[in-house]
Amino acid sequence: MKKNKRVLTPPLKNMKSFSRANEPLKFFGEKEMTKQKRDRIKSWVTFYRNNPSFFIEHYMGVPLYPYQRFWINLMSKSTEFIGIASRASAKSWLIACYAIARCILYPGTTVALASSTKAQAGLIISEKCKSLIDEHPNIQRETSNIVTNQNKWEQTFFNGSKINVVVSGEGGRGHRSHVTVLEERRLIDNEIIDSIIRPFLVSRQAPYMKKPEYAQIEELREEPQEIIITSAHYKTYEWYPETKKFIKMIAEGDPDTKGMFLDYPISIHHGIKTKKQMAREKENLDPITFLMEYGNIPYGSSNLSFYKLGLFNRVIKRSWRPIRDEVYLVKGKNNYDIPKLSDEMRIVSVDVAMRQVLQMTIRL
């Protein structure tokens, strides 16, 4: 009995083997792939803009402590932010991280750093930003140039963003920024802040806002941002009334104002400072200075003062002042004269601030 031979189909010309298991469900052309990639980028950018702490950890590769994540996310959700914290709480380092993240996530952003001196604000770029660039390749990839010399401190990015240091004085006029950082705000005069630094702020003009369909939508406009970081100091300085104003706005639920206030236990908890090191710092400083620098507690007067400010009446609305010679020669009367009562005794005293005079002499 003959076996039936299996009839084989003749092979097709140029036929190649193909596995159906690996066949794609759908073929995407160049246009579809581009749209898919664009949508994916939009989703991630939106997520990271709403959660910049994740962007710093995921993309920039910088690990953060829990309080640092909270601090950075608070800054991103405010137009006015105030951070008052003790020394060694990484205030300047956090500003560097946030400024870099902001510049990468928002192309064309300008971050201006201002302090009492250019050199002090320049440390954020020359030390904090530069170390972040050196240690993290993705930040280095985004950075086009960094300049750190006595005349200029600036970090520029390939997307058109930049972080630069501005003069806290008349020479700073003309600068523009989308984010302004006041480093050690307690050392900057109110007059300079109000007349020179705060007018820096302008809204970032995103490219899509130039299109007619978006240009008139007010909700899409980006608000400029002011960030204040400082350590606590005496209540008599100009920073204190402004701090109370910000705290009141936060307590009343202002959605655009946020704040962060930390003392030295946070640096001990995360190993930035040790307990023994902090004990030595406490021994070397007088109690009030330690409370301000590390305890984050403002104080009314120095530990070396002879009298406390509470002993004096500081709410006098009308005070008597002696007449000056030039006023007497011109007007012949004292505008600040107060008629003396029959049973009144007046004492003329002189307040000599020897330590302040010494400091002024050294500056001269």
* DSSP-assigned states of every residue in 227-259: EEEE---BTTSTHHHHHHHHHHHHHTT-TTEEE
Q: What is the mean pLDDT of the chain?
A: 81
In single-letter form, the type of residue at position 260 comes to: M
Candidate from 82-86, 118-122, 124-128 with smallest mean pLDDT = 118-122
- Kindly report whether the global pTM for this prediction surpasses the value 0.85: no
Quick one: residue 184, left, alpha or beta (phi over 0 = left, psi -120 to 50 = alpha)? left
Of 102, 117, 75, 88, nearest in space to 258 by CA: 75
Tell me the C-alpha distance between 45 and 78, whole Å. Answer: 19
The larger pLDDT score, comparing residue 32 to residue 11, is at 32
Tell me the C-alpha distance between 360 and 238, whole Å. Answer: 19
How high is the pLDDT of residue 33? 64
How high is the pLDDT of residue 31? 63
How high is the pLDDT of residue 214? 84
CA atoms within 13 A on the CB side of 92: 21
Q: Could you please report the per-residue DSSP string of 3-40? A: PPPPPPPPPPTT-----GGG--SS---HHHHHHHHHHH
pLDDT band per the 50, 70, 90 thresholds, residue 188:
confident
Token representation of residue 299: 């104080």
Domain boundaries, the chain: 46-293
Tell me the C-alpha distance between 132 and 126, whole Å. Answer: 10
Candidate from 6-20, 25-39, 94-108, 329-343 with smallest mean pLDDT = 6-20
Residue 132: φ, ψ to 5°: -65, -40
Tell me the C-alpha distance between 94 and 220, whole Å. Answer: 27
Domain 46-293 has CATH 3.40.50.300: yes
How high is the pLDDT of residue 21? 45
Token representation of residue 175: 């600068």
